[in-house]
Structures are given as structure tokens and as C-alpha cells.
Structure 1
Amino acid sequence: MPPKAIGPYRVLETLGSGGAGTVYRALDRRSNDEVALKLLSTGGPSLDDRAARRLAREFETLADLSHPNVVKVFEAGVHAGQPYLAMELIEGLTLRHYLDVSFNDLHTPTPASRGPLAIRRTEDDDFGSVDSPDEEEDDDVEDDGTFDLNAFAEEAPSEDLASFHGAGDDDSDSDGMLVVDPRRAAPRAAPQPSRPAAPKVADLNRPERMGKLKDAMLQVCEALAYIHGHGLVHRDLKPSNIMVDDDRQVRLMDFGLAKFLADDAGITADGKLVGTYRYMAPEQILGEPLDGRSDLYSLGVILYELLSGRPPFDAKTPHELWRQVLETEPPPLLALNLHGDPQLARVAHRLIRKEPDDRFQTAEEVYEALSE
């Protein structure tokens, strides 16, 4: 049962729920404006008042950010020991779904792919699902916030990324940040042969789709350049955190929430990871300090997926995925999509290099490379 009110906001309905918290459509009783209200989860007991207010003050700094490609944060506060964020309510499509529809269909979306800021029928494959408003409680995430590896092995094959999530595809919302300890011993399996791209991979190269993809990537670069210039790192960049509105304007959201969960909420033991596995840079897996180049790695994984129809690294367990990310090279993108864009393929491969120094160093550099 959602709360009736959170701070000065009257809760209207639940939009989505995940490991990072629950998002509500809410009405600001002061201005009568609707907002997306994200009540952040600590994954355990409520924070004490002092800690919660400190976190709220930190998130209030996000309210100073203003960029056309970044979702606006209005304010932060504390409700029952849990920090919350009030953000602008965006009607739009996730990046992947945006690429899968024609321009003529942008104003007639399907319910499964359309919705406000928080409704993201997600395709990010963080190896588990989280609750949507109309679904039963998800058993993939344990009460203590850790991931159930049994659910991990049941995910859909990665090739399905190229099937464009057609009718009947029950995507799950990977809004949440999942927690796994990378220090657990895991068998070192031999590298598995790469799976071939899906038969529909040729559809990835439709001129309309490629134009939309390139334009969206340029806008994401502008958003990343802005937040990196303010000393922020997104830490959990993935297609479901990239929305496209009716005006085809890209909006980046949820930056900083992974840091909140890992560093401040106290729900992780030393050495545990928080984030979406598939898009983690090697340095994030290793628990090393992150900077903007870690976001650029995630952007490279996104670009690789959207060009080839499959992720650069494909595994059945988190540990095997991390081993591949740290030790192996991805299949050449143009071997998976023979008629893919060579320039975009070169950009993707450089972005996902193991060492940060070997990647593009800034989002501005990526923008220039995409513009060539």
C-alpha cells in the first residue's frame, strides 16, 4: 500500500519499483504540478534522522543541474527515515524502444513500451527482474538485497535483444541496483563460443534507425559531458536510464543512485558491487575509483548492443561475465553485423577497452568521433 503523502507531495499512484526504491506519480500540493517521486530504499532498517538528512542534502545539489538532456531534480527530502527525490515527470520511450518504432509511431506507443519517467519495461538484463505495478512480487531478489543466482540462469538469451521486443515479450524492469559479492570463488570455465546474431540483425541497419541511434548517442554525450563537468559520474548508465520524449529529445536519468546505494545506504558489505552487471566497466567490477571514463565504457556497451543485437560479453553467471569483461576481448562487432556502420563500430570498440587510458577520455571526444 503506497503512502498517501510524502513530504509536501500527495501520492497518486505507483509507477514502478526496484532495488533503488519506488517511484510514484505525485502531486506537489504547493504548485499543483505532477512529479515523479522516487523514495529511495536503504535495503534494510531506516536511516537515522541525521544520516537521512545528510543524504537528502547531498541529493539537493542535483537540483542545481540544468541541462536539456538531463532529467530535472526539483528537490530532495526525508520521509520515515528514507530519502526521496522529486523529479520532472517525463512521458517517453526507453532508448531501445525508441529505436524500434518508426517516426510515425512515436505518438501511438504500445502500453508495454510507453510511460512516464519511471515506467521502464526494461531490456537491460541485469540478470533479474523487479516488480512492476501489475505483477506479482518478484522472487529473483532476496529480502537482504542480494541476487538469487537461480533466477540469473533463467534470463532470456541475449540474441533476443535483436527481436525488438515484439508482441508478447514480457520484459522486466531493471530499474533496481542488484548486489553481488565478486570475491566469491567461482569456477573458471573455458570461454564459450560466441552466439550468432539473431536473424533479424539486418533490421538493425535500417537508415531511419541508424539516424535515430546516432542522434541519440550525440545527445547522451552532451548529457555526460555536462554531468562530468560538474564532477559527477552516472555509475549505472544503461538503456532504461535513457529516455526519449515526444520531441525526440534524449533525457538521462538516475545518475548517482548507484553511489548512494553502495557508499551511503549501508546495504552492502565491503567489496560488494551495486549496479547493472552487463554495463559495468572493469574498474567498477574491481572496486576501483570511477571517473567519467567508466560511464563511457557503459556507453560503449550500449552502442555495441544496439549495433549488433547482442552484448559484447555473454554469460550465464555474474562471475563468468566479470571474467570475460576482465580477461577476454568481445567479438568484432562487424562480424556479428556484417553491414553495420564501420565508424560506429570503431567508436564502440574503443569505448569498451579494458584500460580507461585506452578509451576516449571525455564525452566531448566521443561526440566528435560520432560526428565524423
Structure 2
Amino acid sequence: MRAGDHLSGRYRLNVRLGHGGMGEVWRAFDTELGRPVAVKVLLQFHATHEELQRFRREASIGARLKHPGITVVYDVGQHENRQFIVMELLEGMDLSQLLARSPGGLPVAEAVGLALQTAEALAAAHGGKVVHRDLKPGNLFLQDDGRIKICDFGIARAADTTGSITVTDRLVGTPAYMAPEQWRGEHVDAKCDQYALGCVLHALLAGTPPFPVSEQPWVLMHRHLEETPPALHRLRNDVPAEIAELVTALLAKHPDARPDAASTAQRLHSIQRHAPGPDSTSTRDATPPSRGPAPASEDPTTPVTATAPNHDTAPAPTQPIVPPLAPAALRHRPRRRALILGSLATASAGTLAALGLTLADSAGTPKKGGSPSPGPSRHPASSPGSPVTLRGGGNAVVRSVAFSPDGNTLASADDDGEARLWNVATKTLAKTFTHKPVNPWPKSLAQVTAFNPAFSTALSVAFSPDGARLAVGNGDGTVSVWNVATGAETTLPYLDPVEWNGSVAYVAFHPSGGMLAASYDAPAFRLWNLSTRTAGTPLTTGDTSWISTLAFSPSGTVLATSSGNGNPGNTTSDGRLQLWDVPSRSNIATLARTNSTLHSLAFSSDGKRLANLRSDGTLTLWDVSARRSTATLAGPGSEITCIAPGPGTLLASGTKDGAVNVWNTANSGSTAAVTTDTTSNCIAFSPDGKTLASGGTNLTMWTMT
């Protein structure tokens, strides 16, 4: 098949997403209904009867089962003697890709949320008399809105069908996730899916299924048939007993001893609802309300993010469970103009002189001129080389920096309104993106910028996970999404310009690339669906402090927000550190009431820890699952101004006096330190941990050796 081919005169093939021995999956466009779709084509002209049966079975089941957790089939057809299926197009990643990013397993709360969604979708399939028979992380697709879809019903069967599960004398399924009765070639029912769900939940928590995938099939068969899986608490001591007990029940050797999907969902819901969380303001059912697929439209020529084979366009965001932000709340919220103008005045007043290196001991007490703290690390402590100044001496202050996923490009957001791309290898300017401010006010642009100098600035930058797009939070309240290759700009508007007061504070891409979180000059933020360029109702913090920073967990199921307020008289407790469930758009915990700065959040690479920087310089580590503080890296007065995540357990911080520290969060020690000659407003680690960048009056970069 070729791009541009039309199937049945209706489905135009655009981009091939994947291929195998039997067929291909394409991103396509339904020209009649004007929507993007996925098309799976069976390529073999002389497909066996068995292959045709599997292909048709997948189409029939997808069309019959109606549940938001099961991939929807729209149509079937034939093109030049080739069978094809038309399905919804999913944006995101499957759970095998997610686990590859988190080899030690996911945070407990995220694993439970994903398993809960899967169990509810399985309950719908089993209620429809369908057994999947090949449930595994690769067939569980995490969309960019945090919702799970069960995919690939090609070897599914009716639950009441009798006879062997072999296909031309071959067992079907994936060895590491197959139930004992599958290995024995017996008739199977819905309980074999439950066993596979137990294997999946084990993998989400421990990083691997109960028995190693690397073992030979006959060894795996013996272990699944005869051996008791290792106890989860021995592999990971933070797994609650009730979760370990549920996994053990799901992995029972006899089918009748396993709970069904509905009761499994109930147990997971109960576990989730009663999860520990000091200072938590709310608990909730993480499973989003059921809904049908949202209509979508697309310009087929628009570049798209990487998409998983055989899946669908991200549906428009659902309405949040939290109350919408009332216009009155926006009108009467505390203003931050004083902060914006004050910070500019401070920078221009020359308060950037170096005051000496600031470190923190294990108790969190700041100390000047200290030595790096020793201690074990998952990554060897690197020594920074000589700093290279990419840009300095100008009038534009660097507000935000970010490395591309491949580490070859550094982006900066600057006070002069431009976003710049720097070649890391040559240390030269590669591109400049300039946004033309959108002025909603009945005054000239000069008058508006004189009143609010931040109006024409670029305030934050973030690369998409594939590096193809750069999001820039603009001072006029809009978000620019730039095509890095072509320089084309897509502008996401501020949805209520009448209430606009300052600027976008932060932007963050979802790990799948299809969603963008943006915070505004308000105690609220929005989640943008980049396929449809739409955003749901703002999600509100519940107080009047504007959100300063947002950060997605590595899996994308949890979003952390920190808020603060620069108005005179505010204290360190004026603000909130909160966790949000992305699928349901709801607040799941308020970890602390604390005033946080910009660039004040950083998840560890496994998503288990969250670092938070308070406005007074206190740097704290939080256990995401337990929702409690575990360590204080630096206390009040440390003069730390920004933080950024590094690979593994590393964390970078910058200070007012130009010190840049690299912390090992595993032991609360500082592993390396350098100094610049200006305040560090923002900092970034390259993905491989080999390069550090700091932005302030200068833009500086170090290569770690």
C-alpha cells in the first residue's frame, strides 16, 4: 500500500504507522465524515482461512463491544482483494513502552489506576461474552488523555465456545502472560484474562511479569503451571498488602480461585479510594465516566506525533469533575502585576552578584561554600567542565530552558519575546521563533506593554516527546506550538481574554505528545488536546494563588501543580502543592499548603518521587504513592531559585548567586556543583545527563565529564 491510496473511494492513506508479516496499519482520513482513522490492511492475497477468521473476528468484536476502554471499529471493506478494518485512531503509547521508561515499575497509585481501567473494560468484554486471551502490556494502549484502551481482539473468542484454544496446533497467547489452562490447551473462559491481568499488574508494580520473559517457553510453562510467583512485597516494599493479596488471587493456578473482572475492579476502586495521603483534600474514583467517542476533525496535511499501530485519535478532553472556574473568581483573584514588574526591576538593579556556593546538608540546613555530599548514586557523579556562554550581555533575560529529547538542541524562552534553538554540539544559534503578540485590549500594543512589560515576552518552553514541536508560553496569554522543522506556528488562544491579567506561567507536554498542559495567571490550568486544538473547562486549585509550575509524571497519568502568589503580604503557606488524575481531570491530593516559585517541580525518572521548591528556598522530596514528605534537601534561605529533573535519581538546582548543584535524591546528597556569574532563573538537564544549561541574564551550558 502507498500513501495517497484511497480504499473504497473513502479512506485516504496518509502515514504508515506499522507493519508485520500479515499486514500494515495506516493513519488515514475518512473523506466522507472528515475525521482521522486508523486502517489495518491484511496484505496477504492468499490469506489462510484461519488468518481471515482472526481478522474478521477482530472487526466483529470491536464493532459489537461498546465501552470507552475498548478500541472502536467503524467499518470493514476490501481493496484489490485485500481485507481492511477501519478503527478509531489512538494517540499515545502502549504499556510496554511505558514500562520500558520505568524499568523498576510505576508508582503504586498509577499502577492501580491503570489496572482499574483495564479491569472495568474487561468486565464489559466478559459481559459481552468475549474473552481476549492475549492481554498484555503491548495490547493495553495509554492514550494521551490518560485513558486505557484494550486492543487487538484478533485471537479473542466467545466465552461460551467449547473446544481447544489451539490454532493449527499452536497455542495462542503471549507466554509471559498465559494462564495455566492456556498452557495445557484446555477450554478457557474469562478467568484466563484475569490471570493475565494479574501478570500485567505485577509488571506495572515490579517492572516485570511474575516469571522472567527471557526464559525459554518450556521453562515458562513449568513455572506458570507449578511455581508460586514471588511475593510482591519482597520485590518492592512499598506495595500495600491489599494490592499484593489481589495480585496473588489473580495468579491462582485454578481458574475458579480467581476473582472476576467486576469484583477485581471493585477491589481496585476500594484500594484507590482508601490510599494513604496526609493532607489530601479529596479522593475519587479514577475511572472516567463512560462516554462515546468524541467527534474529531483534522487537516490531513498537518504533521502528527508518533502513534501506536492500530489505534485512534485522542478524543476531546472530558469535562472535569472539579467545579469550573467562575468568572467572578477570576475577576477578584489577587493580581501578579507587582510580581512581574518587581522581578524585572530586581534583575535590572544588579542584584545578580555571586555570593558563594550554597549547599545543604542531610538535615536540610543551608551552608555556604560547602563540599559535595558523598553517597551512592544510580548514576556516577559527573564533574562539570568549563561553562560556555551561549548568550549574554543583552537586555533579554532567559526565562526558561529545555533540551530536545535527543539532547542535540537547547531551547530558551527570552524576555525579548523570542524562543531560540541552540545547537548543543556547535554551541551556536540554530533558529529563532518570534510570536506576534495577540492584543485583546482596546489600547495599542505599546500602551499594553508599557503597563505590563511581560506582555511581549516568551515565558516558558517545552519540547514534545518526539522533538518535532516546541511549545512556548507567551506573555500575551497564548501558547505557540512551533513545528521545529518548518517554523510553522499554531497558536492556542487564551480562552477568556476579558479576564486576562498577566501571562501563561508554564507549559508541559504529556509523555504521549498529544496533550499539552498550560497554566495561566490564575488559580487554574487547562489541558489542550493538540489534535483537535480544544481544551476543556479550566481545572481549579481551590484557592486564589496562581499556578506557577506543572509537571506530568513519566507515565502521564498524574499531573503535579504548584502555586504561589507574588503579592505583598503573602506567606510561604499561600499556595498549594497538588496532584491531579489526568484521565478523570480531578484533584486527588493536596500534599501541602505552600508558596512555590516558577520551575518548582520535578518528578524522578521512575515517577516515584516528586521534588518541590518553595518560595523561601526550601527544597523537599515527596513520596508520590504515600503522599508524604520524605526528605528536605535544602532549608529556608538556601537561595535556590529553580529545579529540574535529571536521569535516574539526579536533580539539578540553580540559585540567586549563580550556584548550580546536582543532587542525588536517593541519598539527599549533592554530587556536583558549578557557579555562573548571574542568577539562575531556570535550569535543564539533557536527557542523557551529560549536559547542563542555566538561564538568567546569560545562557550558560556545561558538559559533564
TM-score, length basis structure 1: 0.62
Letter of the aligned partner of 2:235 in structure 1?
A: L
> Which residue of structure 1 lines up, in the alignment, with residue 102 of structure 2?
164
1:289-324 C-alpha deviation (Å, 9 max, x unpaired): 221111111000011112122221125211111111
Contact 2:54 2:155 in 1 (8 A): no
Q: 1:364: how far off?
A: 0.7
* Partners of 1:57 and 1:291 in 2: CA distance: 17
Letter of the aligned partner of 1:38 in structure 2?
A: K
> Which residue of structure 2 lines up, in the alignment, with residue 149 of structure 1?
none
> Which residue of structure 2 lines up, in the alignment, with residue 318 of structure 1?
217
Contact 1:285 1:322 in 2 (8 A): yes
Contact 1:237 1:295 in 2 (8 A): yes
Contact 1:56 1:84 in 2 (8 A): no
- The counterpart of 1:293, out of the listed 176, 191, 195, is 191
> Which residue of structure 2 lines up, in the alignment, with residue 214 of structure 1?
112
> Which residue of structure 1 lines up, in the alignment, with residue 324 of structure 2?
none
Instruction: Flag the 1:242–1:61 CA change in 2: closer, same or farther, 3 A.
Output: closer
Instruction: Flag the 1:75–1:2 CA change in 2: closer, same or farther, 3 A.
Output: same
* Partners of 2:251 and 2:207 in 1: CA distance: 16
> Which residue of structure 1 lines up, in the alignment, with residue 138 of structure 2?
240
> Which residue of structure 2 lines up, in the alignment, with residue 70 of structure 1?
70
Contact 2:119 2:262 in 1 (8 A): yes
1:273 match: secondary structure: coil
* Partners of 1:333 and 1:252 in 2: CA distance: 25
Instruction: Flag the 1:40–1:346 CA change in 2: closer, same or farther, 3 A.
Output: farther
Letter of the aligned partner of 2:125 in structure 1?
A: I
The CA RMSD measured in Å over matched residues stands at 2.9
> Which residue of structure 1 lines up, in the alignment, with residue 238 of structure 2?
339
* Partners of 1:258 and 1:269 in 2: CA distance: 9
- 1:1-372 alignment to 2 at 5 Å? 2=2, 4-7=5-8, 8-18=10-20, 21-40=23-42, 45-47=46-48, 52=52, 56=56, 59-60=59-60, 62-95=62-95, 97=97, 164=102, 201=104, 204=105, 209-255=107-153, 257-259=154-156, 270-314=168-212, 315-360=214-259, 362-372=260-270
Letter of the aligned partner of 1:347 in structure 2?
A: L
Q: 1:52: how far off?
A: 4.9
1:258 match: secondary structure: coil
Letter of the aligned partner of 1:39 in structure 2?
A: V
Instruction: Flag the 1:211–1:97 CA change in 2: closer, same or farther, 3 A.
Output: farther
The gaps in structure 2 that reach 5 residues or longer are 271-705
Letter of the aligned partner of 2:60 in structure 1?
A: E
1:122-176 C-alpha deviation (Å, 9 max, x unpaired): x6xxxxxxxxxxxxxxxxxxxxxxxxxxxxxxxxxxxxx6x726xxxxxxxxxxx
Q: 1:369: how far off?
A: 1.8
TM-score, length basis structure 2: 0.34
Instruction: Flag the 1:21–1:281 CA change in 2: closer, same or farther, 3 A.
Output: farther
* Partners of 2:239 and 2:211 in 1: CA distance: 18
1:305-347 C-alpha deviation (Å, 9 max, x unpaired): 1212222112521111111111211111211112222211111
* Partners of 1:369 and 1:283 in 2: CA distance: 25
Contact 1:244 1:250 in 2 (8 A): yes
Q: Percent identity?
A: 36
Letter of the aligned partner of 2:249 in structure 1?
A: R
Contact 1:34 1:89 in 2 (8 A): yes
1:258-282 C-alpha deviation (Å, 9 max, x unpaired): 248xx9xxxx864212322211111
Q: 1:230: how far off?
A: 0.6
1:88-127 C-alpha deviation (Å, 9 max, x unpaired): 01112323555xxxxxxxxxxxxxxxxxxxxxxxx6xxxx
Letter of the aligned partner of 2:234 in structure 1?
A: A
- The aligned length equals 259
Q: 1:229: how far off?
A: 0.6
The more displaced of 9-18 and 299-308 is 9-18
The gaps in structure 1 that reach 5 residues or longer are 99-122, 124-160, 166-200
1:213 match: secondary structure: helix
Contact 1:271 1:287 in 2 (8 A): no
The higher relative CO (CA closer than 8 Å, separation ≥ 6) is in 1
Q: 1:227: how far off?
A: 0.9
Contact 1:299 1:351 in 2 (8 A): yes
Instruction: Flag the 1:350–1:63 CA change in 2: closer, same or farther, 3 A.
Output: same
Contact 2:58 2:152 in 1 (8 A): no
* Partners of 1:74 and 1:270 in 2: CA distance: 30
* Partners of 1:342 and 1:312 in 2: CA distance: 17
Contact 1:47 1:81 in 2 (8 A): no
Instruction: Flag the 1:6–1:286 CA change in 2: closer, same or farther, 3 A.
Output: farther
Contact 2:119 2:265 in 1 (8 A): yes
Letter of the aligned partner of 2:7 in structure 1?
A: I
The answer to which structure has the higher strand fraction is 2
> Which residue of structure 2 lines up, in the alignment, with residue 127 of structure 1?
none
Instruction: Flag the 1:19–1:219 CA change in 2: closer, same or farther, 3 A.
Output: farther
Query: Which has the higher Rg, Structure 1 or Structure 2?
Result: 2
* Partners of 1:336 and 1:38 in 2: CA distance: 40
Instruction: Flag the 1:79–1:236 CA change in 2: closer, same or farther, 3 A.
Output: farther
1:205-244 C-alpha deviation (Å, 9 max, x unpaired): 7xxx322221221111110111111111111111122122
Q: 1:352: how far off?
A: 1.1
Contact 1:53 1:77 in 2 (8 A): no
Instruction: Flag the 1:82–1:346 CA change in 2: closer, same or farther, 3 A.
Output: farther
Instruction: Flag the 1:89–1:164 CA change in 2: closer, same or farther, 3 A.
Output: same
* Partners of 1:41 and 1:356 in 2: CA distance: 38
* Partners of 1:353 and 1:35 in 2: CA distance: 40
2:230 match: secondary structure: coil
Letter of the aligned partner of 1:89 in structure 2?
A: L
